[in-house]
Every structure is written in C-alpha cells, then in structure tokens.
Amino acid sequence: MRIVKTVIGILVALVVLFYVGDYLANLRSGGEAWGLGPQSEFGVSGWVTWTIIGLIVVGVIVAFFAQKEDLWKVGTREVVFMAIGAVLYGVLSWVTNVTTIVVPAVSLVALRPAVVIPPLFGYLFGPVVGFFVGAFGNVLGDAITGWGVFPVWDIGNGLMGMIPGLIWAFEDRKRATKMAGILTVVLLVVLSVLTFLSPEKVFENPIIGGEPVNHAAFWWVLLVGAILVGAMLYFVEKRFSDALALAIWGALGTIVGIGFAAIADIWINGYSFFVAMLGEFLPAAGPDVLFIAILGPILLQAYEEATGRAGR
C-alpha cells in the first residue's frame, strides 16, 4: 500500500509542479515561455503521454524494489530534504542558465555543475527524495529562467536523483556498486563507439544561429567518463567508500535519466536516433557524468564532516 501511495503521490506532485512551473515561466518571460500550452498534450509527441510513460518507468523501478518498503517511506525528514534540495538545485541551475556556457547541441544545453545535487540527495536521503529534488529542481530552474516546462527532461532529472538512492536496497553495497559500475562502463563504451561510427554526424545548432557542428567529434567525452568510472571500480575493489559509490551510481543515474529524455525527443521533436543521441544525450550526459564524478565525492565529504561536527 505504501508503494502505491508513493507512485500516486509522485504523479500528483509532477502534474502540480508542471503547471506551477508553466505559470512561473510565462510570468518571467512575459508569456513567451515554451510552456505546456504550445506543446502537444497527447499522441506520440504529447507531454501527457510521455509523463505517463515516465511514470511507468518509475513504477517499474519501484515495483522491482517493492520488498524494501523502508526505501520508499516519506516522512517529515524526507519532505524537509526534498524542499531544501529542490530549491538548491533550482536556484543554482538558474544561475548557470542565465550565465550560459552553451554546449553544442540541437537544443539548449548548458554546463550545470549543480547537476550533482539530485544524485547527492538521492544517495543520502533515498530515491524518493532524489527523484523529487531532480524533477522539481529542474522545473524550478527552467521556470525562473523563463524558458518553460519540458516534462521529459524534468522526469529525466528525477531519475538521475532516484537511481543513486537504490543502493540502499542492497545488503552488499560494495557488490551492488561494482555491478552498477560495470554496467555504466559498458554503456559508456558502447555509446562512445556508436557516436564515433555514427552515419549522422553534423547537425545545425539552433542556439548559435544554425551553425553546423560535428557532434561525433565529442565521442571522447563518453570514453573519458568510462575510463573515470573504470578507475573508480578499481578503488572500490581495494577499499569501498561512499564517495566512490555516489560517483558510480550518479553516472548510472545520468545515463538512465538523460537517456530517457533524449529517446523521448525522437518522438516529441521528430529527431532520428542518432540526432537524439549525438545532439542531446552526448552534450547533456557527458559533462553531467564528469561533474558528478568530480564534485559528488567532494560535497559528500563536506556533508559528512559537517554532520560529524554537529554530532548527528
């Protein structure tokens, strides 16, 4: 029953925050935001359709780990951290949105160091907190920038926060982390090879005036991510630590979350598979993996030291 309530609660919260975000975005942009109004609602490109598909993905994950009921509990403590994390992620995302360092892509992709916040909160406080921080924080960041609401990317950010929290479903966290790391390395290597060998390489970047960009030239970003995660796996084998686990699970969460959003845009924006992968997934996921791998352990250590001094 708790699991069902959790999924229903997530659905209701998503719908509410989408409309609140849409209102805020239009308020900030003078009614010119790419909000829910201009987007299709139903059909293969509809935001409602893909919200439902996203919730099915979330529901499958929840059902798979349903026996771990404590993993999905939401009490006062979780609600407090949801609010803190979402506001942090939203505000810090807004800061980098308005000082955008544009990454070559077929849609607006900015470098966002704040992307480390959803997986950090998911790892520390559980998958429900991580999902809410990622989804609501992304809506908030886009809304106060005035861009609009993009449900599949909000759900994708939610999955980025949710996946790291799943580590607590395993009694042997070291073994689970090794499996997650191996899966992450394999996915990154496969995606790197697909990028390098892609038959479609050059796309127009609408953010920089339609200038053609060879996206396949960035295949090495994914390979660097694979090497970085592989190095972490070596150290996990030697000595397991929460910092390494966060970086590895955060990388896997990024692949799942950004992958979901990019694949959805094949239907939503009419992209081919390679345009979606090279033009959206690569420029968004590549830097995110690196930010999480580098900043995640630093922030986690800072949190542990702060709570240790506070005697918590």
- Residues 116-173 have pLDDT tens digits of 999 999 999 999 999 999 999 999 888 888 777 888 999 999 999 999 999 998 888 8
Q: What is the pLDDT of residue 206?
A: 55
| 105 and 92 part of one domain | yes
Specify whether the CB–CB gap between 136 and 127 falls below 8 A: no
- Residue with more model confidence, 236 or 91: 91
| 141 and 256 part of one domain | no
Average pLDDT, the chain: 82
| 75 and 184 part of one domain | no
Specify whether the CB–CB gap between 134 and 256 falls below 8 A: no
| 140 and 195 part of one domain | no
CB atoms within 10 A of CB 6: 22
Q: What is the pLDDT of residue 143?
A: 84
* Burial letters 223-254, b for 16+ CB under 10 A, else e: bbbbebbeebbeebeeebbbbbbbbbbbbbbb
- Residue with more model confidence, 107 or 289: 289
Percent of the chain with pLDDT strictly greater than 70: 85
Q: What is the pLDDT of residue 111?
A: 73
| 148 and 89 part of one domain | yes
> In the beta sheet, which residues pair with residue 34?
148
Ranges 76-80, 99-103, 205-209, 233-237: which has the least confidence: 205-209
CA distance 94 to 100: 9
Task: State both tokens at 263.
Answer: 């694949």
| 180 and 138 part of one domain | no
| pTM > 0.85: yes or no | yes
Residue 185 belongs to what domain range?
A: 173-309
Alpha-carbon distances of 225 from 67, 137, 207, 230, 242, rounded to whole Å: 33, 25, 26, 8, 19
CA distance 152 to 258: 9
| 10 and 139 part of one domain | yes
Specify whether the CB–CB gap between 140 and 13 falls below 8 A: no
Task: State both tokens at 36.
Answer: 């829910």
| Residue 215 confidence (pLDDT) above 90 | no
Q: What is the pLDDT of residue 284?
A: 83
| Residue 310 confidence (pLDDT) above 60 | no
Q: What is the pLDDT of residue 103?
A: 65
- How would residue 201 be classed by pLDDT, with cut points 50, 70 and 90? low
| 153 and 186 part of one domain | no
Helix, strand, coil % in the chain, rounded to nearest 5? 75, 5, 20
Residue 116's nearest CA partner among 296, 282, 244, 251 is 296
| 112 and 245 part of one domain | no
- How would residue 203 be classed by pLDDT, with cut points 50, 70 and 90? low
| 81 and 160 part of one domain | yes
Q: Give the count of domains, the chain.
A: 2
- Residue with more model confidence, 134 or 13: 134
| Residue 23 confidence (pLDDT) above 90 | no
- Residue with more model confidence, 225 or 186: 186
CA distance 248 to 183: 10
Q: What is the pLDDT of residue 34?
A: 73
Identify the domain boundary among 152, 168, 184: 168
Identify the domain boundary among 151, 168, 185: 168
Own/partner long-range contacts of 72-75 (Cβ < 8 Å, ≥24 apart): 72/2, 72/3, 72/6, 72/126, 72/127, 72/128, 73/2, 73/126, 73/128, 74/6, 74/9, 74/128
| Residue 21 confidence (pLDDT) above 60 | yes
Specify whether the CB–CB gap between 265 and 271 falls below 8 A: yes
Alpha helices in 106-213 (DSSP H): 117-125, 127-145, 151-165, 173-197
| 40 and 80 part of one domain | yes
Identify the domain boundary among 168, 185, 219: 168
Name the range with the highest mean pLDDT among 29-33, 275-279, 290-294: 290-294
| 153 and 180 part of one domain | no
Q: What is the pLDDT of residue 252?
A: 93
Specify whether the CB–CB gap between 141 and 89 falls below 8 A: yes
- How would residue 239 be classed by pLDDT, with cut points 50, 70 and 90? confident
Residue type (1 letter), 194: L
Task: State both tokens at 204.
Answer: 């127009």
Residue 121's nearest CA partner among 110, 129, 113 is 129
| Residue 207 confidence (pLDDT) above 60 | no
Specify whether the CB–CB gap between 248 and 181 falls below 8 A: yes
